[in-house]
């Protein structure tokens, strides 16, 4: 995997209390979403080269120039961190127990409304996909990554739709 929990915390922190969930979320997001966005062969190549200095700009972000114009891309780590954060938001506060799924609520807290959570999830996906587009632009204009194949990023593949249900 291209990201550690500490790097996640530096890019888009999640609650330390939920750090035990991070590894499972990261694996799911990596195996499904990152592979879907960037391609299986390319992601396997990146994962096997995380310590290769030639991949540092790709992973951590960089500025690059094309025809005298400077561009900035945030790196694969940023894309990955925001995708994990979006998934984390969708699952926060829900626990799988032997009696089924439960939602934990304490007296001193008020649970976020579904629309509020939905807005945060959608914003995290926007940040991830805008950065994915920038990384893709960087890759499309570089010859350093032979496993990269130009591809269209499907921004709607993992963006959830939230329905509002009025209680009567």
**Is residue 151 very low, low, confident or very high in pLDDT (cuts 50, 70, 90)?**
confident
Spatial separation of the C-alpha atoms in residues 7 and 22, rounded to whole Å: 12
**Is residue 138 very low, low, confident or very high in pLDDT (cuts 50, 70, 90)?**
very high
Spatial separation of the C-alpha atoms in residues 6 and 43, rounded to whole Å: 21
Contact 134, 72 (CB under 8 A): yes
Name the average pLDDT for the chain.
85
Contact 44, 30 (CB under 8 A): no
What is the percent of the chain where pLDDT is above 90? Answer: 65
* Backbone angles phi and psi of 104, in degrees to 5: -90, 130
Lowest mean pLDDT among 10-24, 54-68, 82-96, 104-118: 104-118
pLDDT in tens, 27-55: 999 999 999 999 999 999 999 999 999 99
Q: Give yes or no for residue 98 having a pLDDT over 70.
A: no
More confident residue, 55 or 151: 55
Spatial separation of the C-alpha atoms in residues 149 and 24, rounded to whole Å: 28
Report DSSP state, residue 137. H
Of the CA atoms within 13 Å of residue 40, those in its CB half-sphere come to 2
């Amino acid at each position: 995997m291209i990201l550690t929990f500490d790097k996640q915390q530096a890019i888009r922190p999640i609650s330390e209390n939920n750090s035990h969930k991070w590894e499972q979320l990261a694996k799911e997001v990596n195996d499904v979403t990152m592979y879907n966005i960037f391609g299986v062969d390319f992601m396997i190549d990146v994962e096997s080269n995380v310590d290769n200095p030639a991949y540092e700009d790709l992973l951590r972000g960089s500025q690059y120039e094309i025809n005298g114009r400077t561009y900035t891309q945030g790196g694969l780590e940023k894309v990955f961190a925001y995708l994990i954060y979006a998934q984390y938001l969708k699952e926060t506060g829900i626990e799988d127990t032997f009696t089924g799924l439960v939602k934990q609520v304490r007296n001193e807290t008020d649970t976020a409304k579904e629309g509020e959570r939905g807005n945060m999830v959608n914003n995290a996906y926007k940040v991830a996909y805008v950065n994915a587009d920038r990384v893709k632009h960087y890759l499309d204009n570089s010859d350093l990554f032979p496993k990269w194949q130009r591809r269209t990023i499907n921004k709607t593949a993992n963006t959830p739709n939230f329905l509002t249900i009025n209680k009567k």
